[in-house]
Structure 1
Amino acid sequence: MLQLQSAFGIVALLMLAWAFGEHRDRVSLRRIVVGLAVTLGTAALMLKLPGAAHAFGVINEAVGVIGAATRAGTSFAFGYLGGGTAPFDIKAPGAEFILAFQALPVVLVMSVLTTLLFYWKILPPIVHGMSWLLERTLGVGGAVGLSTAANVFLGMVEAPLFIRPYLAQLTRSELFLVMTGGMAGIAGTVLVLYATLLAPHLPDAAAHFVIASVLGAPAAILVSLIMVPETEPRATGGALADPERIAVSSMDAVVKGTAAGLELLLNIVAMLIVLVALVYLANAVLGLLPDLGGAPISLQRMLGYAMAPVCWLLGLPWPQAVTAGSLMGIKTVLNELIAYVELSKLAPDALDPRSRLIMLYAMCGFANFGSLGIMLGGLTAMAPQRRAEIASLGLKSIVSGTLTTCLMGAVVGVMT
């Protein structure tokens, strides 16, 4: 029954995308069917393929090695604060874990690795291969196919750099697709961080984050073409050249990757401090109101009730939908990192393993108001002549990104 509930959710989410869209009479039913088939086929291949379990084991081992390498660096720099051996007995299990010194620095290592892999020409062929597949299966233009494929590895600002010279030529539909792709995925620099947070609570968490990143590409194309269908002739088809060289040597790539990772790390730490503080203040204000249902009113409870129907559509039992809804609300209003931290803190009986897996996919995207500011700033700097159009599509891209990740959650719900 829960799988049928998820299947109904897929249809309902696509209808919501159509309801929030524009030029509804121009939506191509054929492209919807093809897009949904590609999304379901990709999920089935990656979740049900006999050799997938072995591949996932390799991914998990790779993430474990990266995490261990990061801890080697943090323990050297920060001692027991960074994960080294404590010089005293730990009285409270888990008290030795410090998020800022042990988990978050993995962003630095991943930033350097990503920069090196691009400099060594290892990632570009993979990105171009995925772009080719998206063009052949879903009929998107070369530029947006390349940007969407790059979103599997890069963030919402880094991926469009691949097609910076073409941004001014994109149609409105293609521009929206670029924005949706950015909102519906996470960067490789934070993938390992999120996998590290959830690994103790969800088997093969790293592998599922990789699947979510790949699955986000066809799902983003499907949702964006429903919300903003193509009404103009394309001008960016065909093969595109690689972006400008990002470094002149391997050591230069290490230096630049470290600098970019440090900026991202500091931003993450600062945003965590500020957003958690804002949630506390909001709850303090709401706590002045009379109790509701025998418990104080909080931001999490309000968001939980608002997003609970959406989580039910993903295939969660209703008693768990309110808890999951609060996570979706936190992810949308604040960011996905705080939502994943909250997910890792939930009691085992709050969400069952299937519900946790669905929520991993449903929250795997940058669709929140903070990310919107980052994306608008980056895209308008790259294509200032499209500033007004980019701004007009901003809020719609949060909706499309959220619907895309929810769609992925419902697809996983059908298959588990």
Structure 2
Amino acid sequence: MNVVFLFTGFLFVAGLGYAFSHNRKAIRLRPIIAMMIAQLVLAFLLLNTGVGIELILFISKVFDTLMKLGISGVDFVFGGLENAGMSTFFLDVLLPIIFISVLIGILNHFKILPLLIRFTGFVLSKLNGMGRLENYIAVSSAFLGQSEVFLTTKKQLGLVSSKRLYTLCTSAMSAVSIAIVGAYMTMLEPKYVVVAIVVNILSALIVANIINPYTLTKEEDLIEPVEETEKPAFFQMISESIVDGLKIAVIVGAMLIGFIALMNLVNELFLLIFRISFQEVLGYIFAPVAFLMGVPQAEIVSAGSIMATKIVTNEFVAMLNFKEIASSLSPKTVGIVSVFLVSFANFGSIGIITGSVRALNEKQGDLVAKFGLKLLLGSTLASVLSATIIGVFL
């Protein structure tokens, strides 16, 4: 039965993507099939083999340790603010992001992370035949996040076509930043966070191949990411990474305050006027999509509500809501919804990506703003595809 839902989920993604494709005749099946096979193999290895399970456990323990180390710094500054036995989301989940941001800065400083990104991007380019810049962005987005990744390619932004720009932005919006992966793991099962990060890279490129197909000449494909000639001093880099981590924590905290309060207001209005909450309405709207992805029929409304909440607000709000009901859902639903939540595909990200690109190249930023809704469609379909792939093995 899981194989049936693999086809229904993919047909939904492919059908909607085909409907909005700008050049249906140019869609190439070979790279799409190759990447889907790679997704299935990777998901199977990570979820159903001893090596994969041990690898996920190791990664989970690493991030758990990093979060605890980050909390040790938080406790030194803010110790005593919490009641005994209580946990504060901002202190215990968001502020440790500062420490992880520092570690990422160190890995970048010593060229370890860029080397890993370039190698993975090279392997991907051999698999899908896409441009090296496309594969670089797809991989680096999973490490650096949707806005930071464009800083590493700011000299190329003004040179790429609008078609390539759409693919680059879809990859960025379909990924997450490794700086907040530890925070995700406090709300979702770590194994689904790890698997989603891996599978999302390919899902974004598959969807881009359907909605936005194109071919590159050798001259165009020579556009590669370049590094800044001036390298900051080590402790300057540490300081900048700390400030960057603090910005992320504060921005996420502010967004949670605003979105959760707004969602509660809308829910109250809907209850007052229609005797049903806004989230329940969203659940019924997205229920058919959840069913096509493989969610058991009895749980499609609950799953659809969480999925829609993520798109309307952001993944943190949806994860917090999901955490409250996850224990009442089947393991299959928990896995599918968890993977769907691990991406930046939401309305707010349209503004973030548009602003990030515009800050580096105003003309290209205006182009991103024009296809913003199509960008949300592509990244959401990528999340649907990733969740569908995982559902096969649950």
TM range (shorter): over 0.9
Larger deviation: 73-82 or 14-23?
73-82
Query: Residue 298 of structure 2: which of 319, 326, 331 is its match?
Result: 319
Structure 2 counterpart of 1:161, one-letter code: L
Identity of aligned residues (%): 28
**Match status 1:208 vs 2:203:** no
Tell me what 2:248 maps to: 264
Asked if structure 2 preserves the Cα contact closer than 8 Å seen for 1:315 and 1:410, the reply is yes
CA distance in 1, matches of 2:150, 2:198: 17
Q: How does 1:137-152 map to 2 (within 5 A)?
A: 137-152=127-142
Structure 2 counterpart of 1:209, one-letter code: V
Tell me what 2:25 maps to: 25
Structure 2 counterpart of 1:144, one-letter code: E
**Match status 1:45 vs 2:45:** yes
CA gap 1:298/1:235 in 2 versus in 1, 3 angstroms: farther
**Match status 1:56 vs 2:56:** yes
CA distance in 2, matches of 1:392, 1:59: 39
Query: Residue 175 of structure 1: which of 165, 171, 174 is its match?
Result: 165
RMSD of Structure 2 on Structure 1 (CA)? 2.0
CA distance in 2, matches of 1:290, 1:58: 48
Alpha-carbon offset, residue 266 of structure 1: 1.0
Deviations 1:339-375 (A, max 9, x none): 11111111522x1122111111111111111111010
Tell me what 2:69 maps to: 69
Deviations 1:256-292 (A, max 9, x none): 111111111111111111111111111222122243x
CA gap 1:277/1:236 in 2 versus in 1, 3 angstroms: same
CA gap 1:57/1:290 in 2 versus in 1, 3 angstroms: closer
CA gap 1:407/1:256 in 2 versus in 1, 3 angstroms: same
Alpha-carbon offset, residue 160 of structure 1: 2.1
CA distance in 1, matches of 2:229, 2:377: 34
CA distance in 2, matches of 1:99, 1:246: 38
**Match status 1:359 vs 2:337:** yes
Aligned residues: 394
Structure 1 counterpart of 2:269, one-letter code: V
Deviations 1:121-163 (A, max 9, x none): 1101100011101211111112122111101101111112222
Deviations 1:153-204 (A, max 9, x none): 0111111222221122223332111111111111011111010222xxx3xx
Query: Residue 279 of structure 2: which of 293, 296, 300 is its match?
Result: 300
Structure 2 counterpart of 1:109, one-letter code: F
**Match status 1:414 vs 2:380:** no
Greater helix proportion: 2
Asked if structure 1 preserves the Cα contact closer than 8 Å seen for 2:146 and 2:173, the reply is yes
Asked if structure 2 preserves the Cα contact closer than 8 Å seen for 1:142 and 1:236, the reply is no
CA gap 1:98/1:290 in 2 versus in 1, 3 angstroms: same
Tell me what 1:192 maps to: 182
Alpha-carbon offset, residue 388 of structure 1: 3.5
Tell me what 2:81 maps to: 81
Larger deviation: 43-52 or 374-383?
43-52
Tell me what 1:294 maps to: none
CA distance in 2, matches of 1:347, 1:144: 36
Structure 2, unpaired ranges of 5+: none
CA distance in 2, matches of 1:39, 1:212: 10
Tell me what 2:115 maps to: 125
TM-score (norm. length: structure 2): 0.94
Deviations 1:375-399 (A, max 9, x none): 0011122222323422222111111
Query: Residue 345 of structure 1: which of 311, 324, 332 is its match?
Result: 324
Structure 1, unpaired ranges of 5+: 91-95, 292-296
Larger deviation: 122-131 or 159-168?
159-168
Asked if structure 2 preserves the Cα contact closer than 8 Å seen for 1:184 and 1:367, the reply is yes
